[in-house]
Chain A
Amino acid sequence: MIEKKLKWFGESGLHARPAGQLVSRSIEFESKITFINCSNDREGDGKGIFSLLTMELQKDTDFILRVDGYDEKEAMQSLLQLMVNHEFIAETPDLGIKRIKPADPETLRNTLLPSYITESKIYKRYMRQK
């Protein structure tokens, strides 16, 4: 069993979207994955979205990530990488994990137009045709 104490950094707490991402990563592994909210001692099963949400983990709150099983090392590494990439936790040197930013060539072009246009389906189709 390995444990890591971390601080939730993600904007507005552990919400549905990040929870979904954590579950989708957790179920790739056999190990038992547990999140523990240090402020209220509630535990959340990394493979169950409702139990993660009901932990009520707020921004800037400490939590413990506990992984237990034969693939615990890979699982821990993989989850930490995911959380750093999406800025759920801060990228600190002692973690030994570098943030990998997804390459997005469109971002630059889109900054010129408001998001409600660039995010719309019609605009995207128009860009594709172009």
Chain B
Amino acid sequence: MIILEGTSASEGLAFGTLCFDTREDETPMFDIYLIDNTDIPKEVERFEEATKSAVGYFRKLAENFESVAHNAIFEAHMFMIKDRDYQDSVVSIISRKKVNAETAVWDTAKIFEKKFEQMSDPYLRSRSQDVLDISICIINFLQNKTKAHKVVGQELVLCAEDFIPSQISQIKQRGVRAFISKYGSYYSHSAILLRTMNVPMIVNIGDDLHPYMHGKDAIVDGYEGKVYVEPDESTIQELSQRNENYKKLNADLLKLVHVPCITEDEKRIRLCANMNTFNELKSISKAGADGIGLLRSEFIYLDRDSYPSEDEQLEIYKEVLETMGDKEVVIRTLDIGSDKTASYMNLEQEENPALGRRGIRFCLKNPEIFRTQLRALYRASVYGNLSIMFPMITSAKEIREIKKHIGLVCQDLADKNIDFNENMKLGIMIETPIAAIMSDKLAPEVDFFSIGTNDLSQYTIAVDRQSPVMNDICNASTQHAVMRLIKNVTESAYKNNIPVKICGDMAFNEELVPLFVTMGVNELSVPPAKVCKTKKIIIGMNTKNFKDHVRFL
């Protein structure tokens, strides 16, 4: 047994096989060429040979699994390869178009893919992936490559140097149980995503994580930040037991869903949930939250080929608002740049993207994109209790510029007789040190503050949140500095009589939550899975006990 140690970035326990191959081989590499009439039988024979090998390959995969359910999946793959329609199509393309077998297989794959994609049932639509899978497998055998095909349906622990958010959203459907990486940090966006998905992740393991471990069994302990490679019996037993205990604890927490969030000395705190993807909407409505405190609208823009239209956005906002009823939903406008981009946006390359044109700076530079989102938001405002906020604000000038855009959008909607709520609450994210220090000047301009602690930390200590250095530098004293900034913000907000919200990872930190409540923070926004845990901390505390802590911060 080998034990690897890293930093836990997302809690949980997972059993699985270590897998280093994370590449998605969607389009295989092969030569396209024409063949002579006389070569047709030879080419067909090549195809038949490859088919046999591919069937054998899937049969071997199936033997590795004892469960009947897994076996049946690979059995289905085998029948797809042997399917008469599929084979006929390949053979007829070879003889009709006189092309090599690889080309014919790939053309057939595309024909079948189209057939499946036209179906109304979403499950059947996704079977197009299976057709591509078997076709890639056959092409690999045609080229005498045997290993490149990815293993499906297996319990995997993915290993990499680092993970990017889009990788995680793509991988979600596959049988991945945990993510471990050589570098990376607790504060990266991929870690945030996995925390909301309750999938364990361990980062910063270092060079001990070596590719020779590929294919070995392992247990990932996301609570302690340890990976046990080829664990022994006693370790397995101990960890399964511990996992059961954690699950029991979670079940107890779930009982708090319908309990109001009030401290011992009867201070009412609004406890909201963060929303990162559309799929989370269901879990949020059941989590016992008082609303959505931060809807990161980036998910509408990522994983696609062009900017979403006004109507597309309106549909999404409308559905969120209608699901949440009269509970408040705070939508943050597009915060693109830094590590969150999509290829169609053609952002200019910068030396330091985290310190460059991101957040509101991007939106103000691209007013058409910004106004499209504002129009969709204002049109959606009549369907529920909507507020909007703006990321990366540094000055009152920016706020006034935003209001100019809003004025134009509202004027246009009014001219066209489209309903909207003109008194929608407008807030700003406090996530740059300058905004925190100058918050007394910003407060008169807005209806609320929302403190984004992740970015505020990174900009305060001048370390990129993606960098592994973050793990070394981030400690109690840097946290102390951020707490001083937050205290300053709550005081300016109090003087100007506007509410303060906190989102980011500090909002569910056991030691800090009581301090926030005592400072006078009105709302905490946490991942849906952490709502009950945070509620438990608040219900059990009394601000009397923390007054001195806050005074001498």
Contact = CB atoms under 8 A, between A and B. Distances in A.
Interface in B45-94: 66-67, 69, 72-73, 75-76, 78-80, 83-86
16 contacts: A12-B123, A13-B121, A17-B69, A17-B76, A20-B75, A49-B79, A50-B80, A50-B85, A54-B119, A116-B14, A116-B155, A117-B243, A121-B15, A121-B217, A122-B236, A123-B240
A51 B85 contact: yes
A17 B72 contact: yes
Contact of B66 (A12, A50, A124): A124
A122 B112 contact: no
B121 A58 contact: yes
A47 to B, nearest CB: 7
Contacts of B512: none
Interface in A11-43: 12-13, 15-17, 19-21, 23-24
A8 to B, nearest CB: 13
B480 interface: no
Contacts of A123: 15, 236, 240
A60 to B, nearest CB: 14
A19 B130 CA distance: 14
Interface of B: 14-17, 66-67, 69, 72-73, 75-76, 78-80, 83-86, 112, 115-116, 119-121, 123-124, 127, 130, 155, 177, 217, 219, 231, 233, 236, 240, 243, 247
Classify chain A's interface size. Answer: 20 to 34
Nearest to A124: B66
A83 B444 CA distance: 70
Contacts of B84: 45, 47-48
Given A48-B84, A119-B155, 13 more contacts: A21-B72, A21-B75, A23-B79, A50-B83, A50-B86, A50-B112, A116-B14, A117-B240, A119-B67, A122-B15, A123-B236, A123-B240, A126-B236
Report whether over half of chain B's contact residues are helix, strand or loop; otherwise say mixed: helix
A54 B115 contact: yes
Contacts of B219: 122
Nearest to B69: A17
A122 B121 CA distance: 35
A42 to B, nearest CB: 11
A122 B75 contact: no
A20 B72 contact: yes
Residue from B76, B177, B236 with most neighbouring chain A CB atoms (10 Å): B76
A46 to B, nearest CB: 11
B342 to A, nearest CB: 31
Nearest to A26: B79
Nearest to A51: B85
